[in-house]
Structure 1
Amino acid sequence: MIEMKVAGIALEAATRSPIVLLRDASERRQLPIYIGQDQARAIISVLENQAHPRPLTHDLMVNIFDEIDIVLERVVIHSLQDSTFFAVMTVRQGEVKKDIDARPSDAIALALRTRSPIWVMEEVVAEAALPVDRDADEAEQKAFRDFLSNLNPSDFTQRGRSTSSES
């Protein structure tokens, strides 16, 4: 699994549909997930530290979690099927842990409010992530190819073995 952070909300150019952008720690891969307008507003309100006079739905859920001692331990975006992402929230109440099915957008909105980590399965990242810095990726690939082309069999000699015989 790869831990990711919310990089922001973008709008798809043609349809103006909101997209939450998750980015890995190296800031080399970005995972775009289309979300609804309400979830986009819920995520933006946390990112921009907006206060509301009354709790919004995700704030209400966090308040309920607090009142009944539920901790959101993590969010995991675990699969992508027919262009739809699937997530689970791992919650703990005392010694009892449960995985609860959730839309990624709702799970992300709750994770931001509780400062819980967001994880994405590697298969999902491999299938749907976009490179953030294509030039850096190409430079890294070129450096690796150059490294491989300059390898000699003698570079693979065993090290750390004693050459003297011990009695």
Structure 2
Amino acid sequence: MIEMRVAGIAVDTVTRSPIVLLKDVLDRRALPIYIGQDQAKAIISALERQTPPRPLTHDLMVNFLEEWSITLDRVIIHSLQDNTFYASLCVSQGETKKEIDARPSDAISIALRTGSPIWVMEEVIADASIPVDQDKDEEERRAFREFVSNIRPEDFLHRGGYSRGT
């Protein structure tokens, strides 16, 4: 899994749909997730630390978690099926731990309000992310190719703590 943070909300210029943009902590990959207008407003509200006069849905959920001493340990965006992302809220109450199915937009909104980390499975990153720093990606690919081209079978034995028997 890769930890990500909310970089902001953008709007698709063609469809006019809002997109929440997640970036990895190294600013190497970005994961765009299309969301609805209401979800975009909720995420913006959390990013700007706005406190509404009365609790909105995500604020109410956070209040519920706090009242019952439930901790949101992390959000995991775990899969992408038919262009739909799936997420889980990983919560704990004492020794009891549960995963609760959630839309990524709701999970992100709650995570922002609780200061909880957002994690994304590598498979989702591989399938749906876009490179932010293509030069750095190419540099790493070149270094890896060079490393692989210089490896000998004996290197695996030595690095694994084994030596060849004679």
**Under TM normalisation by the shorter chain, which class is it?**
0.7 to 0.9
**Number of the residue aligned with 1:94:** 94
Aligned residue in 1 for 2:67: 67
Q: Does 1:132 align with 2:137?
A: no
Over 3 Å counting, the alpha-carbon distance change for 1:91 and 1:14 in structure 2 is same
Once residues 33 and 97 of structure 1 are traced to their aligned partners in structure 2, the CA distance between those partners, rounded to angstroms, is 27
Shift, 1:139, TM fit:
2.6
Equivalent position SS for 1:145:
helix
CA displacement at 1:25 relative to structure 2: 1.6
Q: Deviation string for 1:18-53 (max 9, x for gaps)?
A: 111111121101111111111111111111222322
Structure 2 counterpart of 1:20: 20
Alignment of 1:4-153 (within 5 A): 4-148=4-148, 151=150
Which letter does structure 2 place at the counterpart of 1:68? W
Q: Which amino acid counterpart does residue 107 of structure 2 have in structure 1?
A: A
- Describe the shift of the 1:60–1:152 C-alpha distance in structure 2 as closer, same or farther (beyond 3 A): closer
SS at match of 2:112: helix
Residue equivalent to 1:164: none
| Aligned equivalents of 1:158, 1:61: Cα separation in 2 | 54
Q: Please, which runs of 5 or more residues in structure 1 have no aligned partner?
A: 162-167
- Identical-residue share of aligned pairs (%): 67
TM-score normalised per structure 2: 0.86
The CA distance in 2 between the partners of 1:15 and 1:28, in whole Å, is 26
1:74-103 per-residue CA deviation (whole Å, 9 max, x = no partner) reads 111111000000011111122221111100
TM (norm. structure 1) is 0.86
Q: 3-state DSSP class of the match of 1:49?
A: coil
Q: Aligned with 1:62: secondary structure?
A: helix
Per mean C-alpha deviation after superposition, the further-off stretch among 44-53 and 55-64 is 44-53
Counterpart residue number, 1:165: none
Cα separation, 2, equivalents of 1:116 and 1:106: 13
Give CA deviations for 1:109-148 in whole Å, capped at 9, x if unaligned.
Answer: 0001001111111111111111011122123323443455
Q: Give the RMSD, CA atoms, in angstroms.
A: 2.3
Letter aligned with residue 133 of structure 1: D
Shift of 1:158: 5.0
What is the distance in 2 between the residues matched to 1:115 and 1:106?
Answer: 14
For 2:102 and 2:145, how far apart are their aligned partners in 1? Answer: 42
| Distance change in 2, residues 1:54/1:127 (3 Å) | same
Give the match's secondary structure for 1:9.
strand
- Give aligned pairs, total: 161
Name the SS for the 2:5 alignment partner: strand
Q: Find the structure with the greater CA-based Rg.
A: 1
For the structure 1 residues 148 and 121, does the alpha-carbon distance in structure 2 shift closer, same or farther, using more than 3 Å as the test? closer
